[in-house]
Amino acid sequence: MEATRVFLSKGARVVMLNRNADKSAAAIDNLQQEFGVDANVTFVQMDLAVLGSVRAAATKVLDDVPMIDA
């Protein structure tokens, strides 16, 4: 989460890949309180234990994110 804060503080777009949607939504809410509602942070659900989930998440990120820097 600290890396997310660093990236957001520099104006980066952050895509979180997490298994738990509720925890991710809460984290996004906290980050938007800290950095403002315009903080560019989103969430893609992914379970590393399920290969289909990993593939679906990768497809979504590749479709939604034109360039990945880090």
Can you give 53-65 as a three-state secondary structure string? Answer: HHHHHHHHHHHHC
Please report the DSSP string for 1-70 in residue order: -HHHHHHHHTT--EEEEES-HHHHHHHHHHHHHHH-TT--EEEEE--TT-HHHHHHHHHHHHHH-S----
Structure confidence by residue, pLDDT tens digits, 3-62: 999 999 999 999 999 999 999 999 999 999 999 999 999 999 999 999 999 999 999 999
- Considering the entire predicted model, what is its pTM? 0.82
Query: What is residue 1's predicted lDDT score, i.e. its pLDDT?
Result: 84
Domains of the chain by residue range:
2-64
